[in-house]
Every structure is written in structure tokens, then in C-alpha cells.
């Protein structure tokens, strides 16, 4: 009796070749060795197909294609049991650091353009405090703040500009704030008298600094002094220091020195800065002290040759030099006036510069 041949041997040769080719990929999946001649054993260790979203993959161990984007879907459960609502799927977008950097630079550029051109950050009208002689219009005309953004201004430069352009300003402070705040605080010099010379009138403070009359109208409450020149500015301390400097320079140069004041030029009053000091504080005090003895209806005078004095209501000019021994000089002056009245003499000038040697002139 003839034995029956197994079904395996009855299969065509090409089918057996396919099964043996299928078993070749198992070591890469399972990491073990499989007998190529045992098809049933190969079928037992073969990886089953797995159902995934988007199709069926026979081998899950195969790597995914690089650069593919996974489409994620979401389901929304409804209150009814067994019912879900599938939401539309959106691709997952990966943003790189270069794109983020470009967006940041673009946003910063847009912010700068907006801040530079927006009227919200433009100075319109600053707050100015401490003004006496000056006005806000004077400040704005010098600083030229129209249309400038607040962050483009330099407070230090503005303060320096105020001190340079306005000699009556002693201190200046500029404070800026967002979005368009600007506070200016100034301290002005306080005038104590008015100095008229060569047709020009300036205010003078207690330290002898002169500054212009901004309004163009002289305040009559200030003492007016008519002068034909500037007073001698050297004080006693400066004279002592000048003598020491001259002695030192003479010792260093072998005794040769230039004592000509016109060539040395320390007292030249023709070239002065904006905030120039035309007299010493001692001279200011002398003028104020002399003004207390000023007769009503008279004007205080200053002469480079005769010093301080006034123009009397009777028509003559009287000079006292400085205020040293002023009480004694006033007594001598009244005696001279009484003598001239007794003799019916009308002079044009009376000098009491030297208290022991007064004199008068009938003509200049």
C-alpha cells in the first residue's frame, strides 16, 4: 500500500520558496535565529499585523519615514452612551528657532517705529517751575522740543543748554517720564539792582552777576545805577594773591615782569561769557548801602574816575569814591553844600572821595 504524501510536499515549489523568503526577516524583528527549513515554526514566531490609524502595518518595528507629519484626530464624547463626535484633524506644525527669532526681530522693529512716530510719546508742553524773569516760551524756543519723542532726549544735555543760554539760571533740572512727561525745574538769580551802561540795562544780583531784562520792561522797584564803565573788580584777597604771584614770577624770571595792565589784560571787561560777573559782591553791598542815603528824586551814578555818587536834584553830581567812612563823607558833603549855598555858587561836580580833601568844580 502506497503511503500518502503530506500536503506540504504536494504544494508547488514556488509556494515553498515564498515561505522560506518570509522567514528571512524574523531575526531582525525577534533578535533570534530561525530554522529556514521549518515553515510552521516560522509562522509561529512571525509578528502579527497591527491595526493603526491610517492603515495596516505588517511590521511595527520598521522605522517611520523621517519628515512625515502625523495627523492627530480627536474624538468628543457626547452625553448619549456609545456616541462620539470625530473632530477634524489638523496637521502638527513644527516651528523652528529661526522662525521665532525672525518674528521677535520683526515685532521689535514694529515697536520702535510705532514709538518713534506715535504722538503718544511726543513732548507737547513740559512743566516748568521756578521761573521769575523767564517764561515757558523762552524755554521752549531754546530747547526746541516740538515733535521729539521722550526717549530721544538727553536730560544732561538739556540742563547744560539751559545754563549756557540763560545767564540768569543758576541751577537747572530736567526729569523725563513715560509716555511724554517732562518736568523742568530752574533756579533764577534774584536781581537787587539795575545797571545801565552804553544804552543797555541789565539786572545784577547780590554776587555781581549781570543778566538781561527779558521782558524789555525794567521793574521800577529795583535800584537803577547809571554808569560810564564797570567798577574795579579786584578785591582785597585778589590783590594779595596777585602780589604773591607777581613776586613768584619775578623770582623765576630774574626780576623782569610786565606790570602794564593793558598788556596783561586781567581786568579786560570787553570779552565776557554769557553769565558774566561785572562787579564784586563788595561793590554791590557798597551800592546798596549808599542808596539808603540817596535823597528823594535823585539817581545813583558810577564813574570809573570818581566812583559811586548821585546826581543831586539841584543839578550837580556828587561822588564819594567807595563807601569807606561813608557817614563822615556825608557830613562833609552837607557842609560843602551849605557853604556853596551861602556863597550862591552852583557847581557842576562835588567830590568827597577824600574825606579830608573835598573839592568842587564849576565846569567839567
The tens place of each residue's pLDDT in the chain, 364 residues long, gives 445 455 544 555 555 555 544 444 444 444 444 444 555 555 555 555 555 555 544 455 555 545 445 556 667 777 777 777 777 766 667 778 888 898 899 989 888 888 778 888 888 888 999 998 898 999 999 998 887 888 889 999 999 999 999 999 999 999 998 888 999 999 999 999 999 999 999 999 999 999 999 877 888 889 999 999 988 764 433 433 343 344 344 334 443 334 343 333 333 333 334 568 999 999 999 899 899 888 887 889 999 999 999 998 888 999 999 878 888 999 999 999 999 999 999 999 999 999 899 999 998 7
pLDDT of residue 43: 52
What is the reported pLDDT for 120? Answer: 84
Terminal Cα distance for the chain, rounded: 176
Taking a C-beta distance cutoff of 8 angstroms, is the pair 280, 208 a contact? Answer: yes
Nearest in space to 287 (alpha carbons), one of 311, 321, 258 = 321
Give which of 345, 333, 246 is closest to 298, Cα–Cα: 333
* Cβ-defined contacts of 332-336 (< 8 Å, 24+): 332/358, 333/358, 336/360
What kind and span of H or E run contains 16?
Answer: helix 13-22
Dihedrals phi, psi of 244, to nearest 5 degrees: -65, -40
Dihedral pair phi/psi, residue 79, rounded to 5°:
-60, -30
How far apart CA 202 and CA 277 sit, in angstroms, is 12
Cell of 13: 515549489
pTM for this predicted structure: 0.58
| CATH 2.40.50 given to domain 191-242+273-361 | no
Q: What is the spatial distance between Cα 300 and Cα 266, in angstroms, rounded to a whole number?
A: 27
- Output the pLDDT for position 63: 52
User: What is the Cβ-side half-sphere exposure of residue 141, based on CA atoms within 13 angstroms?
Assistant: 7
Can you read off the three cell numbers belonging to residue 56?
495596516
- The CATH code that applies to domain 119-188 is 3.10.20.310
Instruction: Give the per-residue pLDDT at 233.
Output: 65
Report the b/e string of 29-56 with b at 16+ CB within 10 A: eeeeebeeeebeebeeebeeeeeeeeee
3-state secondary structure of 186: strand
Closest CA to 116 of 147, 155, 158, 157: 147
Q: How far is CA 212 from CA 13, 284, 312, 347, in A?
A: 122, 17, 28, 36
Sketch the domain layout of the chain as residue ranges: 119-188, 191-242+273-361
pLDDT at position 70: 54
Q: Which three cell numbers stand for residue 311?
A: 546826581
Question: pLDDT value at position 264?
Answer: 38
CB 153 within 8 Å of CB 123: yes
Amino acid at each position: 500500500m502506497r503511503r500518502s504524501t503530506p500536503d506540504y510536499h504536494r504544494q508547488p515549489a514556488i509556494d515553498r520558496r515564498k515561505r522560506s523568503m518570509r522567514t528571512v526577516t524574523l531575526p531582525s524583528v525577534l533578535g533570534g535565529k530561525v530554522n529556514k527549513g521549518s515553515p510552521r515554526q516560522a509562522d509561529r514566531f512571525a509578528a502579527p499585523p497591527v491595526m493603526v490609524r491610517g492603515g495596516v502595518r505588517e511590521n511595527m518595528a520598521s522605522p517611520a519615514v523621517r519628515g512625515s507629519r502625523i495627523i492627530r484626530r480627536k474624538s468628543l464624547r457626547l452625553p448619549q452612551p456609545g456616541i462620539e463626535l470625530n473632530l477634524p484633524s489638523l496637521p502638527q506644525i513644527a516651528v523652528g528657532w529661526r522662525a521665532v527669532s525672525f518674528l521677535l526681530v520683526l515685532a521689535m522693529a514694529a515697536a520702535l517705529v510705532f514709538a518713534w512716530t506715535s504722538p503718544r510719546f511726543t513732548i507737547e508742553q513740559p512743566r516748568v517751575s521756578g521761573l521769575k524773569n523767564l517764561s515757558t516760551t523762552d524755554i521752549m524756543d531754546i530747547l526746541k522740543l516740538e515733535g521729539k519723542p521722550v526717549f530721544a532726549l538727553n536730560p544732561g544735555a538739556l540742563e547744560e543748554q539751559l545754563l549756557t543760554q540763560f545767564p540768569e539760571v543758576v541751577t537747572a533740572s530736567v526729569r523725563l517720564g513715560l509716555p511724554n512727561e517732562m518736568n523742568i525745574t530752574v533756579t533764577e538769580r534774584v536781581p537787587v539792582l539795575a545797571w545801565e551802561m552804553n544804552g543797555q540795562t541789565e539786572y545784577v544780583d547780590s554776587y555781581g552777576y549781570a543778566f538781561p531784562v527779558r521782558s524789555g520792561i525794567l521793574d521800577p522797584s529795583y535800584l537803577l545805577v547809571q554808569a560810564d564803565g564797570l567798577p574795579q573788580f579786584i578785591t582785597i584777597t585778589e590783590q594779595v594773591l596777585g602780589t604773591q604771584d607777581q613776586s613768584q614770577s619775578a623770582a623765576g624770571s630774574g626780576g623782569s615782569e610786565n606790570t602794564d595792565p593793558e598788556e596783561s589784560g586781567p581786568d579786560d571787561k570787553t570779552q565776557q561769557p554769557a553769565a558774566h560777573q561785572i562787579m564784586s559782591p563788595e561793590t554791590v553791598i557798597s551800592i546798596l548801602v549808599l542808596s539808603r542815603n540817596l535823597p528823594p528824586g535823585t539817581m545813583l551814578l558810577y564813574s570809573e574816575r570818581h566812583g559811586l555818587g548821585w546826581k543831586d536834584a539841584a543839578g550837580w553830581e556828587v561822588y564819594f569814591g567807595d563807601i569807606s567812612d561813608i557817614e563822615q563823607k556825608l557830613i562833609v558833603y552837607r557842609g560843602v553844600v551849605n557853604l556853596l549855598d551861602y556863597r550862591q555858587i552852583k557847581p557842576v561836580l562835588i567830590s568827597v572821595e577824600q574825606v579830608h580833601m573835598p573839592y568842587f568844580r564849576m565846569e567839567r
